[in-house]
């Protein structure tokens, strides 16, 4: 029987996961997080070194995520009992209390959000889903099992998405430390010749390399 694997796409609704078991009780995602941003991230397995470093790193930045009105949700296909024992181990041995829920997924859930990649074995890959308050996938990132994630980059992505939504701008590489324009943001290109000519005039409200590459301070 062929397994139906869905690869989540940018802009589509996050899959409806109902009555799922987590370390914080039964949850419905994204319904329980309606009106808030959330980052759902999967890990291959509990009691593994790379995953442990990631969970400590996520927990150490919980306040930064909360300042962005963004919640964290972990996930793997381990049973909830393993999750509980693992986070107890982390608290006892690494002096870090994991305060966000961890989903105890099954293969069906993992396939619905594209976490089982045949070429990478039977464990879930390291995936990151950044979901907006309307329940839309705004960023989807997959990492191989052997490489841990950069949590600061995930925070940067959430900040950048929120800023882009609010200001209707694009965000440069490495923002807010871009090599060309530092912490400035990029204005959408002109869509007609008159606007293009205004962009390169000295009276333009923006700074421009050319009409299609203009930027401004926040």
Catalytic positions: 51
d(CA 143, CA 106) in angstroms, rounded, equals 20
d(CA 135, CA 38) in angstroms, rounded, equals 9
Helix (H) or strand (E) holding 197: helix 193-200
Angle at alpha carbon of residue 54, lines to 132 and 63, rounded to 5°: 55
159, 183 Cβ separation under 8 angstroms? no
> Distance from first CA to last CA of the chain, Å, rounded?
54
**Residue 106: CB atoms within 10 Å:** 12
């Amino acid at each position: 029987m062929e397994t139906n694997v869905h690869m989540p796409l940018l802009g589509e609704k996050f899959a409806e996961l109902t009555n799922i078991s987590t370390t914080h009780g039964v949850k419905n995602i994204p319904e329980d997080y309606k009106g808030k941003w959330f980052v759902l991230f999967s890990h291959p397995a509990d009691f593994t070194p790379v995953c442990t470093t990631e969970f400590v790193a996520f927990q150490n930045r919980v306040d930064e995520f909360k300042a962005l009105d963004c919640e964290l949700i972990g996930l793997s296909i381990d049973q909830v009992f393993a999750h509980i024992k693992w986070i107890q181990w982390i608290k006892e041995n690494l002096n870090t209390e994991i305060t966000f829920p961890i989903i105890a997924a099954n293969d069906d859930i993992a396939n619905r959000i594209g976490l089982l990649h045949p070429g990478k074995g039977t464990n879930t890959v390291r995936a990151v889903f950044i979901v907006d308050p309307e329940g839309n996938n705004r960023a989807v990132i997959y990492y191989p099992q052997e490489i841990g994630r950069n949590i600061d980059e995930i925070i940067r992505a959430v900040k950048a998405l929120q800023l882009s939504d609010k200001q209707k701008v694009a965000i440069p590489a490495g923002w807010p430390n871009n090599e060309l324009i530092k912490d400035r943001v990029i204005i959408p290109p002109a869509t007609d010749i008159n606007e293009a000519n205004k962009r390169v005039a000295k009276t333009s409200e923006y700074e421009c390399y050319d009409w299609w590459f203009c930027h401004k301070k926040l």
